Each structure stands twice: as C-alpha cells, then as structure tokens.
Amino acid sequence: MKKIVLGISGGISFLIFLILLFVAGHMERSLPEQNAAERWSSEGDASQISCFFSADAGITEDRIIGFEHGIDRALEDAGVSMPEEDSGARLWADTYSADGTISISSDRTNLKNVNAIGFGGDFFLLHPLTLVSGSYFSGSDTENNYCVIDRDAAWQLFGSNNVAGMTVFIGGYPYIVTGVVERPDGRLAEAAGLNGTVAYVSYKTLKSLGKCNAINHYEIVMPNPVSSFAYDYIKKNLGSDEKQTEVIENTSRFSFVNRIKSIGTFGTRSMNSRAIVYPYWENIARGYGDILLVVTVFELLFLLYPVGLALVLFGIWWRHKGWTIRDVYLKVKDKAERLVEKLRAGRLGRKERKQRKKQGRNREKGNGAAREMDETAAKRDRKLDKAIKRAEKRRKKEIRQELKQAEKERKKNKMK
C-alpha cells in the first residue's frame, strides 16, 4: 500500500511538472517581440538579437547604416548567401528606434506629450502589434509622412477606430494614419510604461518634431550559421562598450536550460548599473522573465520529487536483487553473442539464397540455349525432309517420263 501511495504521489508530482512546463512555454510564445527568429525561419537557423544603448553611447543613424553595410559581407565570409532563385528575399531584417514624446492634433482635439516610438527599418516586422484597422508602414516608407496610433489616440482624435487614411498634424505638418493598433495591456504592460497613448512615427519625425532621446534600441533577426555567431558579431560591432550597451540573445532567452541558469542570478538579475532606459517591450520581457524564474523553481521541485523517489525505489530494489553485475554482464554478453550469430546466419542465408537464385538463372539460361539448339535442329530436319520429298517427286516424275518415252519407242519399233 505504501508503495502504491508513493507511486501515485510521484506520478502527480511529475504531471504538475509537465503542466508547469506547458504554462512556461505558453508564456514564452505569448511574447511576439521575442519570437521574431521563429517567424523569420522555421528551420531554427536564425537568431534575434536586441541591443540597448545609453544616451551617451553615441549611436547615430550613420553608425547604424555603416554597421548594416558589413552584415552581408560577414554572412558571406561565414558561408551564408541567398540562393539565386530567391534573389528577391532577404537574409536579415533590422530596426533601430528611440523613445520620446510628440503632440498630435486633429480637427477634433489636440493631444500633447503623447508617448512615441521613432524608428527606422522594419520595426513592425519585429513588433507585430495587433492591428485594429489599417496597416503598418515599412522601413522603406519612413521618408513619407506616415504614422501608426493606438486605439486610445484614435478615439480621442477622431472618435473612431476605423481612421486609416485620415490625416493628423504633428508639429503643424500633415501625417497620414496608416493603421490603428491595440496597445498591450495588463499589469506588466502598465508597469513597463504603457499607461498612456502611444504613437509610432519615423525616427526623423520624432527627432525633428518632438522630444527625442538618442537611438537607444537596435534589433535584428539574421542567420545564425554556428552557435552564437549572430550574438558575437553584434556584440563585437555594436556592443563592445559594456558600460554603455547591453546585448541580449532573444531566441533562446526563455528556454528551460537558460531559465535554470538564471536561478543563480536571482536577486541581482534585475539590477541595472548602466544608464540604459529599457523600452516597454523589454521591460515586459523582464517581468515575464521574473515570473518564469519562479515557475522554473517550482518545476524543478516537482521534478526532483519523482526523480528522487525513483532513485530511492531503485536503491531498495538493487539492494534486494538476486543477481550481481557479473550476472548481468554474462547475460548481456550471451545475448550479444546470440545476436551476432543470428546476424551472421542471416547474412549466410541471404548469400545462399542469392547463389541459388543465380544458379537458377544460369540453369534457365542453359535450358533456354538447349531449347534454342533443339528448335534449330528441328527446323533443319524439317527443311531436309522437304528437300528429300521434293527430290523424290522429281525423281518419280523423271522415271514416269522415261517410261513414257520407252513405251513410245517400243510402239514405233513394233509398227516397223
């Protein structure tokens, strides 16, 4: 009875571990900003890297552009290139951004000091916010006067969510609203800084028409031909100054192994000694990381109980076993020898079957040749018989003609 109770409790504990593992995986997948590599390549050969800079890091658009020019060359040196048939596709995509505030107005109202993200590149590819209406604008459209606003801003400016294509004014200049997005909500989102309306504009717009911090975020999804290739390349070329930058590998950030490694940094992992202000998506990710760390601790506890119980039961069984390691060795050796003999016999059997088949084919070939010779001889005999018959016919005809001739001569002589 005791063993049954222990077995049931161990099974329940392991089941709880599996449930917690599933919950952790669901939480990880619920952060689309952390799963760009999976969307970019389903083969698992891509990596997503995020860089965060302090205001004194000196990151400018020119430096980002210069860095981008070297990516293709680095990938080519690593043996990564786009196949010729996919010449229209891209090997990598990136975005840089800065946070700040702008004022947006419409014929209805004026919103001052709206939280804004000014970006360049493919921001919405790495941040697929939920669209309420309209569409995003891509990195190639940042030169145009486009913007994306959240649902709250749309209601305040127009009293509707369906405002794609309408015009707002930023700094007195007209901007077309391409889309309306759903602002992330919840306790973590509000604590991360999403407690007010948000607008998304080009970096140049935020820099020239609003209050803008320096570029403090850079993100890229790119091929990762060998382990840590992408991380090491970004770290070397953008994050070499560890006091001013922080580089994070997002692809396996919340994996079970990495979560176990993070347990050792519990209590200090959220401390930040650098003058870096994280964007809302990174703050949300860090909040999820803290929650997942607690979940991981419980996962290990519920896993250790059935594992420990299994080890104890194994030890008890081992102590009362009726055999020795030598017995196991001899039994395994005997089975291995029998298996080898069986395999050898199988090989010999296959070889004999092949030989019998070959001999059968040879006999068939020999019989076929004999039959062919017999048929040839029969044809020859038939031809000979026909020739003999024709000769006999000719000879009989000649004899009849000779007899007729002799009879005519006899009659002539008689008449004389």
- Kindly report which listed range (40-44, 240-244, 273-277) carries the lowest average pLDDT score: 273-277
- Kindly report which listed range (88-102, 122-136, 160-174, 399-413) carries the lowest average pLDDT score: 399-413
Note the pLDDT of residue 336: 86
Q: With a cut of 70, say whether residue 257 has pLDDT above it.
A: yes
Please state, in angstroms and rounded to a whole number, the distance separating the CA atoms of residues 104 and 210: 10
Note the pLDDT of residue 390: 78
Structure confidence by residue, pLDDT tens digits, 205-220: 999 999 988 899 999 9
Structure confidence by residue, pLDDT tens digits, 283-340: 888 888 888 888 888 998 999 988 988 888 888 877 776 666 777 777 888 888 888 8
177 strand-pairing partners:
147
Please state, in angstroms and rounded to a whole number, the distance separating the CA atoms of residues 286 and 292: 10
Structure confidence by residue, pLDDT tens digits, 223-239: 998 888 999 999 998 87
Please state, in angstroms and rounded to a whole number, the distance separating the CA atoms of residues 101 and 210: 6
The whole-number average pLDDT for the span 255-262 is: 82
196, 200, 195: which is closest to 179 by C-alpha?
200
Which are the contacts of 56, defined by CB distance < 8 A and separation ≥ 6?
244, 275
Read off the pLDDT band of 414 (50, 70, 90). Answer: low
In angstroms, how far is the first alpha carbon of the chain from the final one?
148
Question: What is the residue whose two structure tokens read 């004022």?
Answer: 103
Q: Is the separation of the CB atoms in 340 and 54 below 8 Å?
A: no
Q: With a cut of 60, say whether residue 87 has pLDDT above it.
A: no
Kindly list the domain boundaries of the chain, sorted by start residue: 1-30+263-270+287-321, 31-80+89-253, 323-416
Note the pLDDT of residue 131: 94
Q: Is the separation of the CB atoms in 238 and 223 below 8 Å?
A: no
The whole-number average pLDDT for the span 65-93 is: 82
- Kindly report which listed range (21-25, 169-173, 196-200, 239-243) carries the lowest average pLDDT score: 239-243
Q: With a cut of 90, say whether residue 187 has pLDDT above it.
A: no
146 strand-pairing partners:
176
Mean pLDDT of the chain: 84
The whole-number average pLDDT for the span 137-156 is: 84
Please state, in angstroms and rounded to a whole number, the distance separating the CA atoms of residues 407 and 335: 106
Q: Is the separation of the CB atoms in 221 and 34 below 8 Å?
A: no
Note the pLDDT of residue 270: 63
Please state, in angstroms and rounded to a whole number, the distance separating the CA atoms of residues 372 and 384: 18
From residue 45, give the alpha-carbon distance in Å to each of 34, 57, 106, 324: 15, 30, 46, 48
Note the pLDDT of residue 86: 60
Note the pLDDT of residue 222: 93
Q: With a cut of 80, say whether residue 274 has pLDDT above it.
A: no
DSSP classification of residue 322: S
- For 42, the 3-state DSSP assignment is coil
Percent of the chain residues past pLDDT 90, beyond the cut: 30
Note the pLDDT of residue 123: 93
Q: With a cut of 90, say whether residue 126 has pLDDT above it.
A: yes
Note the pLDDT of residue 158: 93
Q: With a cut of 70, say whether residue 416 has pLDDT above it.
A: no
Which are the contacts of 193, defined by CB distance < 8 A and separation ≥ 6?
115, 279, 280, 283
